[in-house]
Chain A
Amino acid sequence: MERFVYPFSAIVGQDKMKLALVLNAIHPAIGGVLIRGEKGTGKSTAVRALARLLPELTVVADCPYRCDPDAPEALCSDCQDRLARGETLPRARRRMRVVELPINASEDRVVGAIDIEAAIKSGERRFEPGVLAEANRNILYVDEVNLLDDHLVDVLLDAAAMGVNVVEREGISIWHPARFILVGTMNPEEGDLRPQLLDRFGLTVDVEGIKDIGQRVLIVERREEWESDPASFSQRFADRDAEIGTRIAEAIARFPKVVMPAGILRAIAELNVSLQVDGHRADLVGRKASQALAAYRGIPEVGVAEVNEVADMVLAHRVKAAGGRRELGAIPQSLPSASRASRS
């Protein structure tokens, strides 16, 4: 029996959050999303809903890391060996899932640990994969990321950045692919993440409870409908969801062909310099996010509008709160250099 997931297109409001998730689905190299906000604002609903409409994955059927048979550089060592021996790797299709990391996750659970049974039976130090292994090629959802032990967050972000999980403990030395879309949530009133860790999240979105009465009523109505008859509710939004899914798939295909004019890149860099942002990540994420947005909108060339639209998501967690005021500049609408397109 299929478990019903609340449809993505049925979520009321929260457009920025939905956009941030979509952009990461199109181009995971953006680096994930950190969603800051109170509880009950639809964060996990949105993430699960997104997973539902993403394209299915082709995986190596019997690989615990669900390796991609069509991406030989990203294979785990087992799959690599099998391929080297001339085996054809068995294929299967799987849906993308949301893997959750509980708050009180221990390091063993996250990173993986020694397989006790194997150790006891034969003295073998075998590796028991953890959450990071499950997350490979999926979405990793980390609730209340600011309450996690710092070193766990470090481990997560390292894996997210490098695409691998390297484990060196308890007598084992092992690595496996760990490529996932990272979504973290936190309540800012409970404290912040270290700037170093914050910076490694691609985008940040601040969500609040919706104030508009009309929308609030709609949220409740929809929720009630959903709960009383999830099947027909899903049906109602099935088409819209399918459309979004298709758009994302098309955007993924379109992404590499989107033109990024030199002037736009320059504008991004200038904006970040003027805001005195630390490091290069704001530049790099700004480029990727605006390009992903252009791809999603079917726009052949990235323009000022796209950069501005993603600017606050890219910069919210990187701009120093100098003097208590955080002003996110936007690049001016008419840029002499931006209007001339030339693929850099």
Chain B
Amino acid sequence: MPFELTLPFSALVGQEQMKRALLLNAVDPGVGGVLIRGERGTAKSSAVRALARLLPDYEAVGGCPYRCDPAIPSRFCDDCRRRAKHGSLPVVRLPMRIVELPINASEDRLVGSIDIEAAVRAGARRFQPGILAEANRNLLYVDEVNLLDDHLVDVLLDAAAMGVNVVEREGMSVVHPAHFILVGTMNPEEGELRPQLLDRFGLCVDVETPSDIDQRLRVMELEREFLEDPRMVQKAFGAQEASLRQQLLAAAMRLDGVNPPDAIRALISRLCLDGSVAGHRADLVVARAARAICALRQGSIVELPDVLEALELALAHRRRELASDKQVQAQELASRAAEQLAQIQASAPTEAAQAVRGEATQQEGAAGGDANEGWTTAESRESPSSEAVETEPDVVIQLRTFPVKKLDLPRERQARRAAGKRTSTKSETKRGRYVRSSQAEKVTDVAFDATVRAAAPHQLRRRQATPDAPNQLQLESQDLRQKVRERKTGNLIVFVVDASASMDAEQRMLATKGAILSLLRHAYVRRDKVALVAFSGRNARVVLRPTSSVDLAERRLERLNIGGTTPLTHGLMTALKLIKTERLRDPHVYPLLVLISDGRGNISLFGEEPLLEAQRTAGQIKQERIRAMVIDSTRDFGSQPGYPRNRVTSLYGAYAFNVCGDLAERLGGRYYGLFDLSQNAIVDSVQREMLRTGSA
């Protein structure tokens, strides 16, 4: 960062837990980094940047571009390994720094690429280190880590897991160490983090906006002073910063002498087990964090309060259950822990402790040592799964929104052109992020950097062959590279809802409205649009035109009229027209029609038998390649999931067969028989459907 105008760490107001988590990492980088989750405007980034000035110095091999650790030869880069054979390596002390992964970073900048200058001038294939190389031995800061592009996340995960960065591109094959403290920030409202990445963070803190007025006033005051005269503020806190740095150094030096007693280790394992924590990493993190906490208070033996504090920081993102009331939970945990510790200490102290210690070391061995060590087994890149999110209990009339599960849809191969976020597609036009380059038969969108890199190593030779044009880049067609861009397409979810005077009409409408608002509240993240067609009486109307605006939806959905007969065909036709119009504006929008009805259409549109009309319209919709699903709102269940289909026996009167099921089939879509038509259930079904039809 150019201007050294960062707010001093000790000047930050409040947010004690976040500051603590960061400081622990400054004391012991082995704690494993921090994930800071919170609303906007809560000084997350400021805190991380402020931390830079407090980070300890470290020893590195002099002259090594990756600043290898002279104390750990197993992690040496190839260069250092070679040099080490010929004698002892020079050692230098370097300050730790924060390396930022900017939002607009491209993959080659993250991973490293070929040094073009060297290539062009000397025909050499030299490696230009990227951000991962810079991050080695340092702190890697990823702001809005939940919005990081998938392919960058993959690269990051690999490096964090293996402790090395493996580069295979542009004719180069390089491996170099990549050990870093990973610090990330995110706003949980905007999407969740892939579980593998979540686990990669040692600690996690949740930050909130304080409601304490005095605290807020101090923040305002500080901001004003800093804007007016940043250097003065830095000077004003100079003494405190120095003292803090001193404390951290002292703590770091004590660290080796601090060891958790066996009973404490056993307690940690017990508590993690009780906390239903997945995996073993938590035990290690808690142990390390507790040590750091102990060192910071200048103690030498880890005690219960240290463990409790460490637990809170390490488990925030690992617990399987939801934390309900934090205060109460904390107290209960404290007393439970004290009991368990007493138990452990009382019962055959040496045997039990040894047994547990044996387990503990086995665990450590299995997990590969330090929380921040290179892992011996590469973790496989699983396809992302949506995390289970607790939803509030169904309350039908009250419209409460609840967190919508993040959908991870598989990528499509078809090119689409719209802006959106849920579906990731390869786009044809020159919009969208340039994510990587590829070789192509016909290159229409030249990736200049990749092309130049491809041509670079051959320059020396080619220029020698063309002595009269020594300064030109000699390109050959095989050098040309095509930009691969990625954009995300939006879905258009059209609800077609029966507003006729059938059973539970009001409930149905309310639930649908709630579902729409719920989906929309997260549509800004996914750039989906939602529309609502309601049918009742003798016609259908578009109550809500396709929109991604929650406010608009709320306004339009305020009054919904219910009553009258059921013009089902009208509803379907109106929806069809709506979708076709949308497609004119945006040919590659991804529509999903959701019909919520009991299927008892009894009004004719074309003068024919209503049911037949509806069936025919359904067929039309299917032909137009519009995804559809039917939510059956009949309450008398002859229409359980896995419905029995009977032939229609009479055109009028009782519909002995499952109309909705039949419609679903004609629409080419799924049938969902909802036992309990609630907002939750509707949203669930829609999401399941979108997940299912991720491609085509």
For residue B128, which residue of chain A has the nearest CB?
A: A171
Tell me if A124 is interfacial: C-beta within 8 Å of chain B.
yes
For residue A199, which residue of chain B has the nearest CB?
A: B40
Is A273 a contact partner of B40 (Cβ separation < 8 A)? Answer: no
Tell me if A236 is interfacial: C-beta within 8 Å of chain B.
no
Is A278 a contact partner of B209 (Cβ separation < 8 A)? Answer: yes
CA gap between A318 and B589 in the complex, in Å: 30
Distance in Å: Cβ of A29 to nearest Cβ of chain B: 6
Distance in Å: Cβ of B190 to nearest Cβ of chain A: 6
Tell me if A242 is interfacial: C-beta within 8 Å of chain B.
no
For residue B216, which residue of chain A has the nearest CB?
A: A269
> Which segment of A8-16, A55-63, A144-152 sits at the interface?
A144-152
CA gap between A125 and B449 in the complex, in Å: 9
Chain B residues with Cβ below 8 Å from A70 are: none
For residue B187, which residue of chain A has the nearest CB?
A: A196
Is B473 a contact partner of A194 (Cβ separation < 8 A)? Answer: no
Tell me if B562 is interfacial: C-beta within 8 Å of chain A.
no
Distance in Å: Cβ of A198 to nearest Cβ of chain B: 9
Q: 0/1 per residue, B181-221, Cβ < 8 Å to A?
A: 00000010110000000000000000001010100110111
Q: A168 is contacted by which of B42, B131, B529 (Cβ under 8 Å)?
A: B131
Chain A residues with Cβ below 8 Å from B551 are: 188, 192, 321
| Known contacts A266-B213, A269-B217, A273-B211, A121 near B471 by CB under 8 Å | yes
Distance in Å: Cβ of B309 to nearest Cβ of chain A: 26
CA gap between A308 and B487 in the complex, in Å: 42
Tell me if A40 is interfacial: C-beta within 8 Å of chain B.
no
Is A119 a contact partner of B452 (Cβ separation < 8 A)? Answer: yes
Q: 0/1 per residue, A191-213, Cβ < 8 Å to B?
A: 11111100110000000000000
Is A123 a contact partner of B220 (Cβ separation < 8 A)? Answer: no
A117-137: which residues lie under 8 A (CB-CB) from chain B?
119-125
Chain A residues with Cβ below 8 Å from B131 are: 168
Is B432 a contact partner of A149 (Cβ separation < 8 A)? Answer: yes
Chain B residues with Cβ below 8 Å from A164 are: 1-3
> Which segment of B105-113, B406-414, B604-612 sits at the interface?
B105-113
Tell me if A104 is interfacial: C-beta within 8 Å of chain B.
yes
For residue A175, which residue of chain B has the nearest CB?
A: B2
Q: B104 is contacted by which of A77, A122, A151, A196 (Cβ under 8 Å)?
A: A151
Distance in Å: Cβ of A63 to nearest Cβ of chain B: 15
> Which segment of B116-124, B273-281, B640-648 sits at the interface?
B116-124
Tell me if A240 is interfacial: C-beta within 8 Å of chain B.
no
Q: B41 is contacted by which of A116, A168, A199 (Cβ under 8 Å)?
A: A199
Distance in Å: Cβ of A166 to nearest Cβ of chain B: 6
Tell me if A344 is interfacial: C-beta within 8 Å of chain B.
yes
Distance in Å: Cβ of A310 to nearest Cβ of chain B: 15
Distance in Å: Cβ of B578 to nearest Cβ of chain A: 16
Chain A residues with Cβ below 8 Å from B119 are: 123
Tell me if B459 is interfacial: C-beta within 8 Å of chain A.
yes
Chain A residues with Cβ below 8 Å from B117 are: 123-125
Tell me if B678 is interfacial: C-beta within 8 Å of chain A.
no
Chain A residues with Cβ below 8 Å from B147 are: 150-151
Q: 0/1 per residue, A167-205, Cβ < 8 Å to B?
A: 111110101000000000000111111111001100000
For residue B459, which residue of chain A has the nearest CB?
A: A123
Is A149 a contact partner of B103 (Cβ separation < 8 A)? Answer: no
Is A280 a contact partner of B121 (Cβ separation < 8 A)? Answer: no
Tell me if A287 is interfacial: C-beta within 8 Å of chain B.
yes
Chain B residues with Cβ below 8 Å from A193 are: 524
Q: 0/1 per residue, A94-126, Cβ < 8 Å to B?
A: 000000000010111001001010011111110
Distance in Å: Cβ of A274 to nearest Cβ of chain B: 9
Tell me if B462 is interfacial: C-beta within 8 Å of chain A.
no
Is A196 a contact partner of B40 (Cβ separation < 8 A)? Answer: yes
Tell me if B501 is interfacial: C-beta within 8 Å of chain A.
no
For residue A122, which residue of chain B has the nearest CB?
A: B471
Is B552 a contact partner of A188 (Cβ separation < 8 A)? Answer: yes
Is B524 a contact partner of A191 (Cβ separation < 8 A)? Answer: yes
Tell me if A241 is interfacial: C-beta within 8 Å of chain B.
no
Chain A interface residue number, banded: 35 or more
Chain A residues with Cβ below 8 Å from B524 are: 191-195
Is B421 a contact partner of A125 (Cβ separation < 8 A)? Answer: no
Chain A residues with Cβ below 8 Å from B40 are: 195-196, 199-200, 278-279, 281
CA gap between A114 and B419 in the complex, in Å: 26
Q: A122 is contacted by which of B113, B120, B419, B449 (Cβ under 8 Å)?
A: B120
Is B121 a contact partner of A123 (Cβ separation < 8 A)? Answer: yes
Q: 0/1 per residue, B36-60, Cβ < 8 Å to A?
A: 0001111100000000000000000
Tell me if A312 is interfacial: C-beta within 8 Å of chain B.
no
Tell me if B468 is interfacial: C-beta within 8 Å of chain A.
no
Chain B residues with Cβ below 8 Å from A321 are: 550-551, 554
Is B448 a contact partner of A114 (Cβ separation < 8 A)? Answer: yes
Is B213 a contact partner of A120 (Cβ separation < 8 A)? Answer: no
Is B527 a contact partner of A191 (Cβ separation < 8 A)? Answer: yes
For residue A279, which residue of chain B has the nearest CB?
A: B41
Is A269 a contact partner of B430 (Cβ separation < 8 A)? Answer: no
Tell me if B525 is interfacial: C-beta within 8 Å of chain A.
yes
Distance in Å: Cβ of B146 to nearest Cβ of chain A: 11
Is A283 a contact partner of B211 (Cβ separation < 8 A)? Answer: no
Tell me if A38 is interfacial: C-beta within 8 Å of chain B.
no
Q: 0/1 per residue, B429-444, Cβ < 8 Å to A?
A: 0111110000000000
Is A120 a contact partner of B472 (Cβ separation < 8 A)? Answer: yes
B225-253: which residues lie under 8 A (CB-CB) from chain A?
227-228
For residue A262, which residue of chain B has the nearest CB?
A: B217
Q: 0/1 per residue, A70-81, Cβ < 8 Å to B?
A: 000110010000
Chain B residues with Cβ below 8 Å from A29 are: 227
For residue A117, which residue of chain B has the nearest CB?
A: B473
Is B105 a contact partner of A171 (Cβ separation < 8 A)? Answer: no
Tell me if B456 is interfacial: C-beta within 8 Å of chain A.
yes
A215-267: which residues lie under 8 A (CB-CB) from chain B?
256, 260, 262, 265-266
| Known contacts A114-B449, A196-B190, A283-B216, A168 near B104 by CB under 8 Å | yes
| Known contacts A73-B3, A265-B217, A269-B213, A123 near B189 by CB under 8 Å | no
CA gap between A73 and B104 in the complex, in Å: 25
Chain A residues with Cβ below 8 Å from B2 are: 77, 164, 175
Tell me if A89 is interfacial: C-beta within 8 Å of chain B.
no
Tell me if A270 is interfacial: C-beta within 8 Å of chain B.
yes
Q: A147 is contacted by which of B190, B419, B453 (Cβ under 8 Å)?
A: B419
Chain B residues with Cβ below 8 Å from A269 are: 213, 216-217, 220
Is B473 a contact partner of A120 (Cβ separation < 8 A)? Answer: yes
Tell me if B547 is interfacial: C-beta within 8 Å of chain A.
yes
CA gap between A269 and B213 in the complex, in Å: 6
CA gap between A188 and B549 in the complex, in Å: 7
Q: B120 is contacted by which of A123, A270, A280 (Cβ under 8 Å)?
A: A123
CA gap between A189 and B549 in the complex, in Å: 6
Distance in Å: Cβ of B248 to nearest Cβ of chain A: 26
A140-162: which residues lie under 8 A (CB-CB) from chain B?
147, 149-151, 154-155, 158
CA gap between A103 and B103 in the complex, in Å: 19
Is B554 a contact partner of A324 (Cβ separation < 8 A)? Answer: yes
Closest 8 CB pairs of A and B: A279-B41, A123-B120, A191-B548, A170-B449, A278-B39, A120-B473, A269-B216, A169-B106
- 16 pairs, CB–CB < 8 Å, chain A vs chain B: A73-B3, A114-B449, A122-B120, A123-B119, A123-B456, A149-B419, A149-B432, A166-B1, A168-B106, A169-B104, A190-B548, A191-B529, A196-B144, A265-B220, A281-B40, A284-B220
Chain A interface (Cβ < 8 Å from any Cβ of B): 29, 73-74, 77, 104, 106-108, 111, 114, 116, 119-125, 147, 149-151, 154-155, 158, 163-164, 166-171, 173, 175, 188-196, 199-200, 256, 260, 262, 265-266, 268-270, 272-273, 277-284, 287, 321, 324, 344
Task: Apart from A123-B116, A191-B523, list 7 A-B contacts with CB within 8 A.
Answer: A123-B456, A151-B147, A155-B104, A166-B100, A194-B525, A270-B213, A344-B221
